[in-house]
Chains A and B, each alone.
Chain A
């Protein structure tokens, strides 16, 4: 099973899959956009990340 970085969106693998994610919780509290979460984690990934095919 591939695991996405914890700041990134992914599909679940169970029905349902409960996850704990401190970064998402922070983004939710602050009502952050994806861009604002990017600014927060300062990732090294290129901007060419897929927009769609991110399923596990």
Chain B
């Protein structure tokens, strides 16, 4: 019988970039069982650097329909771990492990043994050392249901043996469980700045772990709902949305502020950060923390470098600062000392809209777009003068498109 119409709108597909410039797109699924084009694919699309694509199909006994798997490149092979797959083809207790040869484009089914995760999908796989993969998170299909995976599994790629790793294993992440509990949350500084060498923050920055990854590592439950969450319930991360990144002439980079939204995979650790992660050219990291009245919680930060300073603009989050106006707050950061000085620029004449790429600099003048409530409102710019540190009167201004982060 004829199959569904082919679709590229898929969930649970992997895309793996190769050193030779190719991207290998593997399988995935389209829609759900009620849709006439529902399909779990078992194909490969090879995308070349110039944009050409090639389609490869496989017998289903060589490459079963596969989705929500992971793909990890090791040498010239891509290791595929897990799959959700069609309900009646899920093999409870087994873990689908396939190895894809990027030279021949052929799959090999691997029989594994030991204490594996079972029929896992929607998980994360990381390479650990030369010859092992670590599998965390996701869900496991058993005969009783589809339940979250609470364990950490390691697959030895030489013996194809699975074993469980303990939560908080310091060979995986170099911070003890005790230090995780002591240091895991955001904190306000008591100085301007207070420099922190919090070991958990530094390791999180180096590994670029999101909060959910740390929770999986430590087997740490979500602590509180949105309405009762405080900073003590939040796991700190340097992987943030909307942070301001500044590269300085001396080679240091600054990650300023940013936020974790209160929905999605990281929603349990929603936070607006008021700190600065400083990375030196040699890789040394420290975090500058501040009292919240010195560095208020701001969103959509925009910064301009002015000599040894960064002048920062950000909309004040009134959930954290109910006594302040929306702003934008204007702050001047000394990039040498990391001290922050509030600039009393007053209120701009119109509401300022801040987003990545919104501003245009003309010498000592920066122009920001106004907030437009509807399409009939004029596109205007509100200038800020860096010499006098004050807002000027609105001017005609074509609003730039937002930059992608």
Contacts and interface: CB of A to CB of B under 8 A. Distances in A.
Contact of B4 (A16, A21, A27, A34): A34
A9 B39 contact: yes
Contacts of A45: 2
B5 A15 contact: no
A14 B7 CA distance: 21
Nearest to A31: B8
Given A10-B3, A15-B62, A50-B1, A34 B30 contact: yes
B41 A9 contact: yes
A27 B4 CA distance: 14
Contacts of B41: 9
Given A9-B39, A11-B42, A54-B2, A32 B7 contact: yes
Contacts of B42: 11-12
A34 B1 CA distance: 17
A49 B3 CA distance: 7
Interface residues of B, number: 35
Nearest to B88: A52
Contact of B6 (A9, A13, A53): A9
A8 B3 CA distance: 6
B56 A54 contact: no
Given A9-B4, A33-B7, A34-B7, A49 B36 contact: yes
Taking chain B's interface residues, is the majority helix, strand, or loop, or is none over half, making it mixed? loop
A20 B57 CA distance: 11
B133 to A, nearest CB: 24
B263 interface: no
Nearest to A6: B6
A13 B63 CA distance: 11
Interface string A30-48: 0111110110010001010
A18 B55 contact: yes
B4 A51 contact: yes
Contacts of A5: 2
A50 B56 contact: no
Interface of A: 4-5, 7-21, 23-25, 27-28, 31-35, 37-38, 41, 45, 47, 49-55
21 contacts: A4-B3, A8-B4, A9-B5, A9-B39, A12-B57, A14-B59, A15-B58, A17-B58, A18-B54, A19-B55, A19-B56, A19-B57, A21-B6, A23-B6, A27-B6, A33-B30, A34-B4, A34-B7, A34-B31, A34-B37, A51-B4
